[in-house]
Structure 1
Amino acid sequence: MIMNEKIKASEVLLIGVNGEDLGIVPTKEALKMAKELEVDLVCQSLASSPPPCRLVSRTDFKQQAIQDSAKSRKAEKGPKLKEIRLSAFIEDHDYDTKKRQAERILVAGDSVQLTVRLEKKESQEAKKLVEELVRELAHCGKQEKGIQVSGKQVIAVMLPL
């Protein structure tokens, strides 16, 4: 990041504090404007001529840099897989709570694994429950594979849209 007097170009393409385009301005005049407004002149890229520079308050610029680095770290890691456990004979209120929880996770950009633990011979009820939940969550996520029924549990994985 090149700021203020470290910018060596004779003229810059200046962008104002509120994002307005101020055109091509001599660097000395841009620095003078920055001092008058009590902000910094920040060079965004050295690839073009004249280099685009922006008038930015230092605190705003630092906060923006922190937010950008956090977003890039999250994008680098990829979505997390979060598990939601249910029982085959779940009450309506508990079902709604689990559905809202799954919606919140999918909207945040993470994947959800819906797991129904089986106790006896309840695999058909569990499968119907998971199918219904997947159908109701279709507006905020899509099912990765089919519903997997194993000996002790029924699983469906949903990906965010």
Structure 2
Amino acid sequence: MIDHENNNRGLIDTYEALQIAQSVELDLVVVSQNEDIPVAKILNYGKLQYQKKKRQGSSARPTVKEVRFRPNVGAGDYNLRINQALQWLSKGDSVKFAIRLRGRENQYRQQAGDMLDRIVTDLGQVGKVQSLDKRSLIVQIMPA
């Protein structure tokens, strides 16, 4: 048995281990079920479950990074954002590109659609297209 201060108490009767756990107001939990001798530990079981759930939630949650463009973005800014997206995709994050049109820029909707196609071709080796919406000018790319 291992007590609440991580000290090894050796072989102890189950009833005695339960009394020790009750005296410090904690739970007696079987940590490993060996063939000969099971190992039990005195700890707060609710806290253990909470930490386990928290670890699972944080590791399973994919993040979506968003990049916004205007249709007349410069080459340097475009390359910077594409390189940033490459890093995010290599880490396992999804990237969402949105092109915003304001005022007279709506006349050049075709150029914005071409820019989406250019983004898809530039990131084609690292990611795959999850959704492409040329009407709302949004493309979402997930890691390949």
| TM-score normalised to structure 1 length | 0.55
SS of the residue corresponding to residue 121 of structure 1 reads: helix
Per residue, is there more strand in 1 or in 2?
1
Query: Partners of 1:7 and 1:125 in 2: how far apart?
Result: 74
Unaligned segments of structure 1, at least 5 residues:
10-44, 52-67
The CA RMSD over aligned residues, in Å, is 3.1
> Contact 1:116–1:154 (CA<8 Å) still a contact in 2?
yes
Matched, 1:5 2:8: yes
Q: Could you say what secondary structure the match of 2:58 adopts? A: helix
Matches for 1:1-161 after TM superposition, within 5 Å: 2=2, 5-6=8-9, 8=11, 46-49=32-35, 72-76=56-60, 78-118=61-101, 119-145=105-131, 147-150=132-135, 153-161=136-144
Alpha-carbon distance in structure 1 between the residues aligned to 2:119 and 2:10: 57
Identity rate, percent:
25
Question: How many equivalent residue pairs?
Answer: 109
Please, which runs of 5 or more residues in structure 2 have no aligned partner? Answer: 13-30, 38-51
**Paired position in structure 1 for 2:28:** none
Question: Which residue identity is paired with 1:75?
Answer: S
So what's the TM-score if we normalise by structure 2? 0.60
Give the whole-Å Cα distance in 2 for the aligned partners of 1:135 and 1:7: 63
Given that 1:113 and 1:158 are in contact with CA atoms closer than 8 Å, whether structure 2 keeps it comes out as: yes
Deviations for 1:113-146, whole angstroms, at most 9, x for unmatched residues?
A: 100112222221111111111111122221102x
